[in-house]
Amino acid sequence: MKDFKETSNRKKKYSRVEFQEMEKLINLYLQDEGFSLNFNGYSEIRLKYFRLQDTDLYETYQLMIECNLWSNYMIDVENIVQFYWLDTIVEKERLEGLFDKKAPDEQLEKDIKFLKKKVKDFAIFHKQIIAQKVFFEKAFWHCYKVYGKATNTLLYKTFN
């Protein structure tokens, strides 16, 4: 059995990339395709969720709706990112096929290197989008439970 120290030296170390940073980078890639993503209000909705008071029925209801909308939006973004990710993989493989058949070409090498980075960036962002989608789905159900519990408590107190 190998030592932890031995195996840890072989593993690549990836720096943690923030969601907003990746969103900006992916948006640059998508703008080249004539498409852009919009995450206005993303930070505010997360902040609202983490500051949610169980007793504020109106805020809980509004947050429940917004989390559901963001979850649906993340599904759409996931599909878009996956499309462009796969399209980039196909383009990278096409250029690699050309590279194998042609004499060494410096520009072609740069294009392949750029596409490899782009594929990696799309893969990272795809995972982040899935994580955000799951977060908003769970936040919706949490708000739904909190809202249901609060309305039941309110109804119970008004009838007694």
Residue 76, pLDDT above cutoff 50: yes
Residue 91 lies in a domain: yes
Residue 21 lies in a domain: no
Residue 31, pLDDT above cutoff 50: yes
Residue 111 lies in a domain: yes
Residue 134 lies in a domain: yes
* C-alpha span between 12 and 21 (Å, rounded): 21
Residue 129 lies in a domain: yes
pLDDT at position 157, please? 66
Residue 6, pLDDT above cutoff 90: no
Q: Name the more confident of 107 and 129.
A: 129
| Number of domains making up the chain | 1
Residue 11 lies in a domain: no
pLDDT at position 11, please? 46
* C-alpha span between 53 and 20 (Å, rounded): 26
* C-alpha span between 22 and 124 (Å, rounded): 8
pLDDT at position 103, please? 67
Q: Name the more confident of 102 and 60.
A: 60
Domain assignment of residue 130, given as a range: 57-160
Residue 9 lies in a domain: no
